[in-house]
């Protein structure tokens, strides 16, 4: 389940496009690390270099927490992409912050969770980008394994893929994002960044990324 405030989604989509954090190339697709061909490439690390966008992220994530959760004891980011954004949100909320590695360290104390998440804490997870949701849901399992409750997931952007929706529904966790793929495509079209034909191509990709990739 993905829930997004429409006004915030449009504002954040415009910022992502304006600073080049999202690139659209429906005619000459990008190749993701997985080998999948895609007409979109999203690099939310770019947002950290723009103070105005950082403020929008900090305020937006904090607002999502205040609006949607009765109690949050700790804000936990995923390593490494979610760490900075979790820190921004935690700072706005005046809340403790931690981060979760993809696997326990193979040295030292073998920590998977860095920072402190006391047992029985109510935790919100922060990720930068949602495709299938696998990374953040795995991190959430690590938090639950330490005796705390994950109340939900926040992210900057979601591709809104069916596989991701199914994963969050199966996990029973709500997902709240600052913006998403359909909104970004709409904003890009309205601002003249893409043609109507390209908008159609972009919409086709999101309905079946693998089939689109195989055809390109």
User: Which pLDDT tens digit goes with each residue over 34-86?
Assistant: 888 999 999 999 999 999 999 999 999 999 999 999 999 999 999 999 999 99
Q: What is the pLDDT of residue 13?
A: 97
pLDDT for 167 equals 96
Give the pLDDT confidence score for residue 1 in this predicted structure: 61
Tell me which residue of 136, 140, 158 sits closest to 149, measured CA to CA. 140
Average model confidence (pLDDT) across the chain = 94
56 known ligand binder: no
- Cβ burial, residue 49 (10 Å; 0-12/13-18/19+): exposed
| CATH number, domain containing residue 149 | 3.40.50.2020
Domain span at 36: 2-215
Our count of domains for the chain comes to 1
Percentage of residues of the chain with pLDDT beyond 70 = 99
Is 14 annotated for ligand binding? no
| Residue 36 burial class via C-beta count within 10 angstroms: exposed 0-12, middle 13-18, buried 19 and up | middle
Q: Give 109-128 pLDDT, tens digit per residue.
A: 768 999 999 999 999 999 99
Q: What local confidence, expressed as pLDDT, does residue 110 receive?
A: 67
Q: Closest by alpha carbon to 133, among 75, 172, 104?
A: 172
Q: Confirm whether residue 201 is marked as ligand binding.
A: no
Beta bridge partners of 23: 41
Give the integer Cα–Cα distance in Å for 27 and 199.
11
Q: Which residue has the higher pLDDT, 13 or 1?
A: 13
Give the CA angle between residues 79, 209, 25 to the nearest 5°: 85
Is the pTM higher than 0.85? The answer reads yes
Average pLDDT over residues 208-213: 92
- What confidence category does residue 2 fall into, taking pLDDT thresholds of 50, 70 and 90? confident
Q: Is 130 annotated as a binding residue?
A: yes
What Å distances lie between residue 83 and 46, 136, 155, 167, CA to CA? 14, 12, 11, 22
107 is in an annotated binding site: yes
Please indicate if the annotation marks 133 as binding a ligand. Answer: yes
The reported pLDDT for the residue numbered 142 is 96
Please report which confidence band the pLDDT of residue 3 belongs to, taking 50, 70 and 90 as the band edges.
confident
């Amino acid at each position: 389940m993905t829930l997004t405030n429409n006004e915030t989604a449009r504002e954040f989509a415009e910022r992502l496009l304006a600073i080049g954090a999202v690139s659209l190339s429906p005619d000459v697709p990008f190749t993701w690390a997985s080998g999948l061909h895609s007409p979109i490439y999203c690099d939310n690390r770019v947002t950290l270099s723009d103070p105005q966008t950082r403020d929008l992220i900090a305020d937006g994530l904090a607002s999502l927490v205040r609006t949607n959760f009765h109690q949050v004891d700790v804000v936990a980011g995923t390593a490494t992409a979610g760490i900075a954004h979790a820190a921004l949100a935690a700072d706005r909320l005046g809340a403790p912050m931690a981060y979760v590695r993809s696997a326990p360290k193979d040295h030292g104390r073998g920590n998977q969770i860095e920072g402190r998440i006391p047992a029985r804490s109510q935790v919100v997870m922060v990720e930068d980008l949602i495709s299938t949701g696998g990374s953040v849901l795995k991190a959430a399992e690590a938090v639950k394994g330490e005796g705390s409750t994950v109340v939900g997931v926040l992210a900057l952007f979601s591709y809104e893929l069916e596989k991701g929706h199914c994963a969050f529904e199966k996990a029973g966790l709500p997902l709240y994002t600052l913006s998403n793929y359909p909104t970004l495509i709409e904003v890009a079209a309205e601002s003249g960044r893409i043609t109507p034909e390209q908008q159609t191509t972009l919409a086709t990709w999101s309905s079946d990324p693998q089939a689109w990739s195989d055809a390109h």
